[in-house]
Amino acid sequence: ELQWQTALQNNLYTCGGPILPEDHQLYNILFVRKHISCNSPIETNYYFCEHGDRIQLCYWCKTEDGLSDLPKSLTNQYKIVYTCCNICKELEKDHFTCLDIKVGKN
């Protein structure tokens, strides 16, 4: 853990790039997913984090302001419904959903 903390303090991370230089001893142990950027929606790992102080954020733009209420129709149909802000809804984005609830369906 000390090596990880030192690496965080001594390396400059750029969105979309490697978290550590290739010559670092933790390079093949600690890494980030490629092909994500600051414009990517929030990863599910954020929402599944066990920390109780997790802030609700818009799935699309990451704002914590002006979040739309989760529609009951979606929460009744899907196990996971991610939050969406009103501005993103105006831009024709919506609550991102996954995992259909299959109990009681014919």
Instruction: Provide the strand spans (E) within 1-106.
Output: 78-81, 97-100
Confidence of residue 20 (pLDDT cuts 50, 70, 90): confident
Alpha-carbon dihedral sign for residues 87, 89, 94, 95: positive
Confidence of residue 86 (pLDDT cuts 50, 70, 90): very high
Q: Which residue has the higher pLDDT, 70 or 1?
A: 70
Mean pLDDT of all residues belonging to the chain: 78
| Tokens of residue 83, six digits | 């939050």
Q: What is the DSSP letter of 70?
A: P
Please give the model's pTM, rounded to 2 decimal places.
0.55
| Tokens of residue 3, six digits | 């090596």
Q: Which residue has the higher pLDDT, 86 or 41?
A: 86
Q: What is the DSSP letter of 67?
A: B
Mean pLDDT across 62-83 = 92
**Within 13 Å of residue 106, how many CA atoms lie on the same side as its CB?**
0
